[in-house]
Structure 1
């Protein structure tokens, strides 16, 4: 894990466990305990509470309160100087992206283990993985985590992006040269699209993702292209709905977004080439937006940095130059909207260690710390329809993280998570 600089004036993190000696960290079993912290934020409230505690029993939050009058528990975990928050949720990752369907399924799963550990160490106890590996690989990774075979965030998966031929999910340039491999499931026309959706359901998908537009990272297409007709999008979303699967779409431009929303998608990914007028449309239809800001902002701020672009295709730099003003206009308008924004880092492979930077990217365009923190907790829970996640309230899963200091004053400290509890099991604490 990368070391993040200390916050001036902040003492080194401490953690003391009284009672049983760190049993959950050793055995992987849930720890019944009271956790105390200087501050507690529950995932919804406008401000954290002070001098707070949370009672955890059998992997769930039983109660929470303030003051020294705490319930009895077999162990007490003290987090002085810390803010305790719900476990974080990243709703746009590609854990297996570095394999891109080019390895045996077992190898794809094994290569995903380091990114999974990185994400959990960063405090992300749940992720929505939006594909790039084989159907079986992504689903097997999800199931292995659920069965506690591997350590990492619990996964909600859209195993493989459905794409038009010649679209964003067709062939990445490096894979075109080396392997001829695809990052997506290709489908054109109503019948083939329905067939591909049913394949994803059969494989065990939780979500279905499709590319309604082109993208920045693929050759042979363009982010301004609209990939599917309204009839095709209606067929895709409707078939998924019949199978009780929610849908999300990769879409950069207005018409691609509008077709997807008319069809009934639950969320939209990116949208950064849209006119600001798309935002009231998303609000009206109750759509969740996952803008994935860190990666494009890092590209936009380095347009003249030759070293940064040395290992990237020339066409990508050209595209970012061409659309820079348009992207900045959309991002600036986002903070004034009331769209339900959800945190998604678009992290892939080793980039998982940097997914926390989405917090500062979101505040850099004017989103408030409260809105950003909700985007990574309660709003993400609402998107996933998982009410037991993203909040600290009785009955919720005991997913809890702690940071040294107050993130409402400085969101940079979200890169310094030093306590992670997942389903009542302590996964990370300072040594």
Structure 2
């Protein structure tokens, strides 16, 4: 501690430049936990990370003491819907049918700020759910500094097979807005992917399976060659495709077609997860959304019997862990409250992962899977997306709820400035 304060006063007294010195109790760099480390930020980049006595920088303007805290890369949320809010507030159907894109955009600005202050500095948004390209423009306003929020990667409307999505329950003479864009056949699929990318989608989301009618179990939707055509089209533009897939056959078709991540995978077996691993396809399990939906239906966790859906989900997640498939952090937030992304991390631990593995998933693994080369780690030369939480989340993942400091792109949004 004496050495720390000697360095602190030495650097502070010489300070003239625009660097900031961050002094926490611990640093999780996206892979490993270190003690007695500091981090120096210069502008929007990390300039140094390592032991106190090896810091080569002698002039630092600002010093921020983060006593009792763990510094870590900004959390990368892998599956979100900023244009949705919890279904126990308003059903999905009513959000699509009764809330205008303007209202949903306004809500989205609130949820973006809430997410950032919860330590989420990057979000992959998996579809506007009936709000067109509103997510594209939400991203634009954040990028232009009009509103605060995480870095966004957005899918736009998402793509579904004709007849396989909702809202449903209307006779054939009633035209209603759908939660995604419908296509049939290879030509339509290619045209739609190109149009969505031209309209600002960062990647393409497809529904490899879904319920054809209300109350029915999910079934495959697209043929494998239709997904292959969408993957080839997206990849030719430097983008990629992700797939909503819960059934074994839906997962199989999507994986063999070349998607990069499988979302949900509720009914996946060891066979499908092994196939994913063999093809370098990552898995986003969205555990928190499943539990939230059951609770909206009346389930009281810890008191009532565990619903079949949760039993099956736990079993499939256990198989995924056994397979060694890359698991990315993403809770389907929007189904539950924005800013409570930690719920997914807590469930990942409850369902069998270590806290360290969960933190790696939410930082360096997500950065790698999502092609974010300058994010997800605390390392010299990378962008300064950094948060601090009270306590040690590598021992108790619930510490991730106690966010005390948020820096995105070198700018402080929460904590001492």
TM-score normalised by length of structure 1? 0.83
Structure 1 counterpart of 2:8: none
Measure the CA separation in 1 of the matches of 2:169 and 2:110.
Answer: 25
Instruction: Return 5+ residue gaps in structure 2 as ranges.
Output: 1-10, 86-94
Contact kept, 8 Å, 1:209 with 1:248, in 2: the verdict is yes
Measure the CA separation in 2 of the matches of 1:349 and 1:428.
Answer: 26
Measure the CA separation in 2 of the matches of 1:294 and 1:31.
Answer: 41
Structure 1 counterpart of 2:6: none
Query: Greater CA deviation, 33-42 or 321-330?
Result: 321-330
Structure 1 counterpart of 2:198: 202
* SS across alignment from 2:268: coil
Measure the CA separation in 2 of the matches of 1:306 and 1:410.
Answer: 24
Measure the CA separation in 2 of the matches of 1:157 and 1:108.
Answer: 15
Instruction: Return 5+ residue gaps in structure 1 as ranges.
Output: 1-17, 21-29, 308-319
In the alignment, does 2:124 pair up with 1:128? Answer: yes
Out of 80, 83, 90, the position equivalent to 1:96 is 83
Structure 2 counterpart of 1:287: 281
In the alignment, does 2:315 pair up with 1:329? Answer: yes
Instruction: Give the superposition deviation at 1:349.
Output: 7.3
Measure the CA separation in 2 of the matches of 1:206 and 1:396.
Answer: 21
Out of 16, 23, 27, the position equivalent to 1:36 is 23
Instruction: Give the superposition deviation at 1:247.
Output: 0.5
Structure 2 counterpart of 1:297: 291
* SS across alignment from 2:270: coil
Measure the CA separation in 2 of the matches of 1:126 and 1:413.
Answer: 19
Out of 403, 406, 411, the position equivalent to 1:420 is 406
Instruction: Give the superposition deviation at 1:107.
Output: 3.5
Out of 255, 265, 276, the position equivalent to 2:270 is 276
Contact kept, 8 Å, 2:269 with 2:319, in 1: the verdict is no
* SS across alignment from 1:190: helix
* SS across alignment from 2:291: helix
Measure the CA separation in 2 of the matches of 1:49 and 1:184.
Answer: 45
Measure the CA separation in 2 of the matches of 1:418 and 1:295.
Answer: 26
In the alignment, does 2:258 pair up with 1:264? Answer: yes
In the alignment, does 2:403 pair up with 1:407? Answer: no
In the TM superposition, what whole-angstrom CA distance separates every residue of 1:120-154 from its partner, at most 9, and x where no partner exists? 01100000001124333111111111111110101
Judging changes above 3 Å, is the alpha-carbon distance between structure 1 residues 91 and 306 closer, same or farther for their aligned structure 2 residues? closer
- Pairwise CA RMSD: 2.8
Alignment: residue pair count? 386
Contact kept, 8 Å, 1:101 with 1:183, in 2: the verdict is no
Measure the CA separation in 1 of the matches of 2:248 and 2:336.
Answer: 32
* SS across alignment from 2:232: helix
TM-score normalised by length of structure 2? 0.85
Out of 245, 250, 254, the position equivalent to 1:251 is 245
Instruction: Give the superposition deviation at 1:304.
Output: 6.0
* SS across alignment from 2:79: strand
